[in-house]
């Protein structure tokens, strides 16, 4: 009797676990990548200064490699406040929107994918 009870409990537990991982897979959002999610944002928000094509003379951020390498510093600077030293985008009076800042952080969390 005791054995049966343990067996049924284990089967129940297995069912619950199987369901959990199933729903987690369904809920997971697709991972962000540079080509689709970051490139256009940087080209808009960090131009002209960091986009050589637009006449930018600062460190170029027009490629996947440069954004990937500097992502920690980029996130640090866009999270500063406009009066802080080092704040980006330089000389703007407002920070990027929360959702734009979140995009950079999510991209890093997702593993810095190119496409």
Closest to ligand HEC by CB, 31 or 76: 76
Closest to ligand HEC by CB, 20 or 53: 53
Closest to ligand HEC by CB, 73 or 114: 73
Pick from 113, 112, 31: nearest CA to 71:
112
Pick from 78, 70, 84: nearest CA to 102:
78
Cα distance between residue 71 and residue 106, in whole Å: 11
Footprint of ligand HEC (CB under 6 A):
45-46, 49-50, 58-59, 70, 73-74, 77-78, 86, 88-91, 96
Q: How far is the CB of 95 from ligand HEC (least distance, A)?
A: 9
Pick from 58, 72, 65: nearest CA to 39:
65
Closest to ligand HEC by CB, 21 or 83: 83
CB distance 60 to 67 below 8 Å: no
Q: How far is the CB of 52 from ligand HEC (least distance, A)?
A: 13
Q: How far is the CB of 30 from ligand HEC (least distance, A)?
A: 23
Cα distance between residue 115 and residue 113, in whole Å: 6
């Amino acid at each position: 009797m005791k054995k049966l009870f343990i067996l049924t409990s284990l089967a129940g537990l297995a069912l619950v676990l199987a369901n959990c991982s199933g729903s987690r897979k369904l809920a997971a959002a697709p991972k962000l990548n540079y080509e689709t999610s970051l490139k256009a944002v940087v080209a808009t928000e960090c131009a002209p200064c960091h986009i050589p094509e637009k006449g930018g003379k600062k460190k170029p951020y027009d490629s996947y490699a440069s954004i990937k390498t500097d992502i920690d510093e980029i996130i640090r600077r866009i999270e500063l406040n406009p009066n802080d030293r080092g704040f980006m985008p330089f000389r703007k009076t407002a920070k990027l929107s929360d959702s734009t800042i979140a995009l950079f952080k999510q991209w890093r969390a997702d593993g810095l994918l190119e496409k």
